[in-house]
Structure 1
Amino acid sequence: MLSQIVRPMVQTQLRLLANSRATRSTLISTVAQWLSFLGVRAQVTELDAGAGKIRIALTVDKPEAADPRDWQQILYNLQQSETEAELLSTSAANFTPQQQSKMQRLLAYLIQIGEPGHSVDWNTLYPQLQALGLDEPTLLGIRSALKVPQSLDDLIEGLDSDVAAVALPKAVSIAMLDKRVNSSEDQALTTLLKAMREQQEVGC
C-alpha cells in the first residue's frame, strides 16, 4: 500500500518543481526524499569521501510517474540562471498561519499514531525531524500540537491542496522513521493522498 501512496506523490512533487522559480534549490531539498522511498531511476556518476562524509553525484532519469511536459519544464528551469534569493512558489514558509497550523497538526498526528499509547520523547524525536528538513517554527508548532490528541477527520476537512502537497512527503518520511508503516499510518497517508487528489481535481 505504501508504494501506491508514494508513487503518485512523485507527480505532485514534479509539478511543484516545474512551477517553482527556484527549481535548483527546491530539487536539491527533495531529491533525498525521492531516493529514500521512491523508485527513481538514478546512476551514481561520482562518489568520494572526505571530512567524515560521502559525496555522491547522480544522474537521474525521468521517473515513470512524471508528466513529460513537467519533466521538460524542470530541465528548462535548471538551465536558467537562478539565485538562492528567489522565493519558492509553493513552500511552507509562504503559508498563512492557518495553513502552517494545519500542516503542523497533520505531522503531529502522524507522530501520535506511530506509537499509540506511548508518550513522545521530544529530545529523541527533535533531531530526527530536523533531519527531514523541517524548520524551527514548524518544529515548535508540531511540539505544541503533540500536547493534545489530533483528529484525522478534523485535519482533512477543509484541507487545501498546497498544504497537502507539502505535508505528504514529510508525513511519509515521519511514518518511515521506524522503518515500518502500521495500519493507522497507512490509513492516514491514504486519506491524505485522496484528499489532495480530490482538491486538485476540483481546481482543474
Structure 2
Amino acid sequence: MLTQIVRPMVQTQLRLLAHSRATRSTLISTVSHWLGFLGVRAQVTQLEAGSGKIRIVLTVDKPEACDPQDWQQILCNLNQGASEADLFSTGATKFTPQQQSKMCRLLAYLLQIGNPDEPVDWNVMYPQLQALGLDESTLMGIRSALKVPQSLENLVEGLDSDVAAVALPKAVSIAMLDKQVNSSEDLALSTLLKVMREQQDMANSSQNWKHLNADQAR
C-alpha cells in the first residue's frame, strides 16, 4: 500500500531534519530527493520559515518520463493562466458521452470505496466535490453513478488514457478527502496511472517507429 511505504520514510526524514545541525541545506536536499523519486528534477530557490509553516519555492525541469511536446504544452497552458478547474472542464468537454459517463463512474467508485461500510452522504459530499472544481454536469453524473455499485474491473475495461489523465488528479483529491488512502483507493489510483503509462508507452513506441522508418527512408 502506498501510504505504508511513503509515510515511514517521510517520518524518518523529518526526524533526521529535527536533529540536523544544517537543517536548511538538509531540507533543500531532501525535497529535491523526494521529487527525484518521481523522476522530477527540482531545485529549491527559496526557503523560509514563519507562522508555524515552511515556504518553499521550486524551479522544476522537465521530468525524465515526460515527452518534450507534452512538456511544452504544459508550459503553454501555465502561461495562459488556466486554473485547474478550467483545465478539468476543458478536458471533460472534449469527451464523448461514453467517456464522460466512464469518468463520472470512476469518481463515484472512489467515493464508494473510501468508506465501503457506509453509503455516501451526498449532502455532505456535494460541497466538498464542488470545492475540487467539478462542474455541475459532472457532479450530477457522479450522483447518478452512486446509485449502483461500481466495479474497478468494469471501469478499467476499454478505459482510454485521456479519461484516465483527466480523472486521476480528481481521483487523488477524492481519495485524500479523509486524509488517508486505503488499499482499495490505492489500487484504483495505481490502475489509473498504469493505464496512462501503458498507452503513453505505446504512443512513444509508435512515434519512435515512425522516426526510425523515416530515417531509413532517407
TM-score by length of 1: 0.64
Aligned CA distance change for structure 1 residues 71 and 168 (closer, same or farther; 3 Å): closer
Higher relative contact order (CA 8 A, sep 6+): 1
Report the RMSD for the aligned CA atoms in angstroms. 3.6
Aligned CA distance change for structure 1 residues 59 and 122 (closer, same or farther; 3 Å): same
**Secondary structure, in 3 states, of the residue corresponding to 2:155?**
helix
Structure 2 unaligned spans of 5+: 4-37, 48-54, 207-218
**Counterpart-to-counterpart distance in 2, 1:178 and 1:75:** 30
Q: What does the per-residue CA deviation read over 1:107-136, in whole Å, with 9 as the maximum and x for residues that have no partner?
A: 000100000020111111011111111100
Q: What does the per-residue CA deviation read over 1:123-179, in whole Å, with 9 as the maximum and x for residues that have no partner?
A: 110111111111000000000000000010000000011000001111111100000
Q: 1:150 is aligned with what amino acid?
A: Q
Q: How does 1:87-102 map to 2 (within 5 A)?
A: 91-102=91-102
CA positional deviation for 1:2: 3.9
Q: 1:95 is aligned with what amino acid?
A: F
CA positional deviation for 1:67: 3.6
Q: Which residue of 1 aligns with 2:35?
A: none
**Counterpart-to-counterpart distance in 2, 1:79 and 1:149:** 37
Query: Is 1:77 paired with 2:58?
Result: no
Contact 2:110 2:175 in 1 (8 A): yes
Q: Which residue of 1 aligns with 2:188?
A: 188
Q: How does 1:10-49 map to 2 (within 5 A)?
A: none
Aligned CA distance change for structure 1 residues 201 and 146 (closer, same or farther; 3 Å): same
**Counterpart-to-counterpart distance in 2, 1:120 and 1:79:** 35
**Counterpart-to-counterpart distance in 2, 1:189 and 1:78:** 24
Please say which structure displays the higher CA radius of gyration.
2
CA positional deviation for 1:94: 1.4
Q: Which has the higher helix share?
A: 2
**Counterpart-to-counterpart distance in 1, 2:74 and 2:148:** 44
Q: Which residue of 1 aligns with 2:200?
A: 200
**Counterpart-to-counterpart distance in 1, 2:75 and 2:102:** 33
Query: Is 1:171 paired with 2:171?
Result: yes
Q: How many residues align?
A: 159
Q: Which residue of 2 aligns with 1:26?
A: none
**Counterpart-to-counterpart distance in 2, 1:153 and 1:68:** 29
Query: Is 1:61 paired with 2:53?
Result: no
**Secondary structure, in 3 states, of the residue corresponding to 1:91?**
helix
**Counterpart-to-counterpart distance in 2, 1:111 and 1:191:** 16
CA positional deviation for 1:44: 7.1
Contact 1:41 1:63 in 2 (8 A): no
TM-score by length of 2: 0.60
**Counterpart-to-counterpart distance in 2, 1:75 and 1:191:** 23
Structure 1 unaligned spans of 5+: 4-37, 46-55
**Secondary structure, in 3 states, of the residue corresponding to 2:68?**
helix
Identity level (%): 62
